[in-house]
Amino acid sequence: MKYYIIILSLFAFISCKKQDAEKISAKQPENDDIEVYNFEEFERFLKEEQDQIYVINFWATWCKPCIQELPYFEAAQNKHNDVRVILVSLDFPNKLQSQLIPFVKKNSIQSQVILLDDPHENEWIPKVDSTWSGAIPATLMIKGSKRKFYEKSFSEKELENEILNFKNL
């Protein structure tokens, strides 16, 4: 009888631990929303040959000017059917779960968010644009073979004007 109680207690303890672990893992955010690329994988976005305009914004959650302009990119995505906004996060990869995903969810960001995880920035920054110093925010507009690069933050009106000007190139 004594062993029966010990075994029953042990079984109850183990099954409670398993349920607790399942509850904890169910609370963990999934990163299915945010794909992680190295630059070689990401580079395909820089070579899109479609009629759609790609507005690729390089930003980070720790960059105040970046955060201030994000709603303008969201508005552009919603306003223009022929514009696809891609928000390329340069946050630290170890902050994906603790910082980036919660930020995207809290701010209801609907544009595609990508985490660029490539420590060789001295190699890939000039591939984005030869004039880019590496400072953020930075934005690249692409449509077929047309490209325009901006190493600055935008106001809502400035971004809208640049998109309209880019459409007319």
Report pTM.
0.78
Per residue in 61-109, pLDDT tens?
A: 999 999 999 999 999 999 999 999 999 999 999 999 989 999 999 999 9
- Overall domain count for the chain: 1
Cα distance between residue 163 and residue 160, in whole Å: 5
Of residues 82 and 26, more confidence is placed in: 82
Residue 17 lies in a domain: no
Domain range for 117: 31-167
Asked if pLDDT for residue 23 goes beyond 80, the answer is: no
Say if residue 20's pLDDT is above 50.
no
Computed over every residue of the chain, the mean pLDDT equals 82
CATH code of residue 133: 3.40.30.10
Q: Look at residue 15 and tell me if it is in a domain.
A: no
Nearest to 45, CA basis, from 107, 98, 130, 113: 113
* Closest listed residue to residue 163, CA positions, set 43, 81, 107, 42: 81
DSSP assigned state of 145: T
